[in-house]
A and B are shown apart, each in its own frame.
Chain A
Amino acid sequence: MRGNLLYLDKESSLHQLHPLSKLAFTFFFLICAAALPGLDWLLAAYFFLLLPLAGWGQVTAPFLRSSWAVITPFVISLSLIQGFFTGGETVLFSLGRFAFTFEGWLAGLTVAARILVALGGALLLTLTTRPDALMQALTQRGLPNSLAYIVLSSIQIFPRFQDRAQLILQAQQARGLETGGNLVRRLKLLVPLSGPLILSSIVDVEERAMALEARGFSRPGRKTSLLVLRDSQAQRLLRFVLLLLGLGLITLRVWTLFQ
């Protein structure tokens, strides 16, 4: 149950929510990220909604770690670009002909905060939801089984491809392939590495397809599942309220734009 998954196995009530409820939160925060008017509102959404939710799910530390790791480069680059190129009254400092304005800096921070809120909503879902539970919830709502399979198997099989690529690299090094050097030489390396990787993977696909057939994957008719997803009237209400709030935010945003 480990490997490359972001998911953290905890016993919190957030973990036990139906995957669709958590997905509703994610979409709600996506709308928040796009529709909230300014930096103050966005930061409020992050600190007073997302962070308490992460705390409820017992994932505060990894939530903060991941969100700041992703957002820091955005904060720096967006501040610099917007600060110098968006005009404004208040000049904070100048580099030759270029002036860094407070208004521009604020605009940059606002864009970064929008990314932060959207990212937070996605993190909340991935940290507390098993991918197979989410896919099961979606297939029960009509997502094709094959699509769910592609998502789930890619999550698991991709790291094995990395292992295999490493193995091929070592095998080629053992035969005297130079792996150092400048960019052009490194690019040329892709040929002896990707050839065997792609070919061996294609060979695997046939066996993998047979293994799936042997397990009745293409069998028509209803499928059942070992995993039990608990839903409740309260959660259905919650999803409905989140939907209404989201729609309300969009309407408000559109309305203020036309004012």
Chain B
Amino acid sequence: MISLQDFSYRYPGQQHFALQQLNLEIKAGQFCGFIGANGAGKSTLCYALSGFAPHFFRGEVRGRAWLGKKNISDLSLADLAGEVGLVFQNAFNQISGARFTVRGEIAFGLENLGLARRRIVTRVDEVLALMDLADLADRSPYELSGGQQQRVAIASILAMQPKVLVLDEPVSQLDPHGTQAVFKIIEMISQRGDTTVVLVEHKLEWLAAYADRVIVLDHGRLVMDGTARAVLASADLVKLGIGRTLYSEAADLARNKKLVSAPSHLPVTLNQAQALFQ
């Protein structure tokens, strides 16, 4: 679905490349998590996959980024809208402000795509049900809580039925309750199998539980790539400034105090930790 070949990107006016010679292939329907320290290039990668780098930020691209058989550099943002959906941190800024109700806000993207009204109605109703927003459909999106707004933002993108959904730290400004709701939805979208999900996320426990694959970026380079268990249990994550899951921390502590025998892999999910401690 997505393939990067020696892909590098430099923001205008910057000396160094924010992304450096990335080689990467993400299959259709895969759920791929990205982690890395601050400034590792995670957000830039999201912008590159959704075409905002270079089409919105300008700057210089080297190498190729393919979306299916099309080169993202050759497409316009208008072409990419509806193909790749981007959701970012700040829910408030993602509400268009062009419509007065949640229903209208979700329909806004479809109106721009020029869909027939009948299809807009069906799709909006589908997404409202899917995202558990039906009760809020006639409220103003500005009168909702942060978690609800972020759900509206995801719903608005999802209604456009993108093949790839790119989420850049979608829960970083949400409370635990909102976080839980948004993660549940991402999990559900991924399990439907028709959408490729790319998620940048600091909450490692959550990636461990749901991501098919985790990729680590450091200073714009790809440094690790593998299954969630293999990557997240790695001792190198701490050196890269990313940290570990709480389960790994607990297991490490227990091992040092000789409470458990040294495991071959540190646990990264609740189930794995349970198995170890029992």
Residues in chain A within 8 A of chain B (CB atoms): 1-3, 5, 130-132, 148-149, 152-153, 156-157, 159-160, 204, 207-228
What A residues does B107 contact at CB under 8 A? 225-226
B93 engages A204 (CB within 8 Å): yes
What B residues does A216 contact at CB under 8 A? 78, 81-82, 109, 112-113, 160
A3 engages B140 (CB within 8 Å): yes
A7 to chain B, nearest CB (A): 9
Contact of A207 among B88, B138, B160 (CB under 8 A): B88
What B residues does A226 contact at CB under 8 A? 103-104, 107, 110-111, 117, 120-121, 124
B25 to chain A, nearest CB (A): 24
B93 engages A213 (CB within 8 Å): no
List the one stretch of B7-15, B94-102, B208-216 in contact with chain A.
B94-102
A13 to chain B, nearest CB (A): 22
B2 to chain A, nearest CB (A): 17
Known: A157-B97, A211-B93, A219-B112. A228 touches B117 (CB 8 A): yes
What A residues does B96 contact at CB under 8 A? 153, 211-212, 215, 217
**Nearest B-chain residue to A159, judged by Cβ:** B142
| Number of chain B interface residues as a range | 35 or more
A6–B52 alpha-carbon span in the complex (Å):
38
A195–B139 alpha-carbon span in the complex (Å):
33
Within 8 A of A (CB), among B106-152: 107-117, 120-121, 124, 138-140, 142-143
Asked if B90 is at the interface (CB within 8 A of a chain A CB), the reply is yes
**Nearest B-chain residue to A212, judged by Cβ:** B96
Within 8 A of A (CB), among B184-209: none
A130 engages B82 (CB within 8 Å): no
Asked if B269 is at the interface (CB within 8 A of a chain A CB), the reply is no
Contact of B117 among A1, A5, A225 (CB under 8 A): A225
A9 to chain B, nearest CB (A): 10
Known: A1-B140, A132-B104. A214 touches B85 (CB 8 A): yes
Asked if B231 is at the interface (CB within 8 A of a chain A CB), the reply is no
What A residues does B245 contact at CB under 8 A? none
**Nearest B-chain residue to A227, judged by Cβ:** B104
**Nearest A-chain residue to B78, judged by Cβ:** A219
What A residues does B77 contact at CB under 8 A? 213, 218
Asked if B86 is at the interface (CB within 8 A of a chain A CB), the reply is yes
Asked if B156 is at the interface (CB within 8 A of a chain A CB), the reply is yes
B78 engages A215 (CB within 8 Å): no
What B residues does A222 contact at CB under 8 A? 114
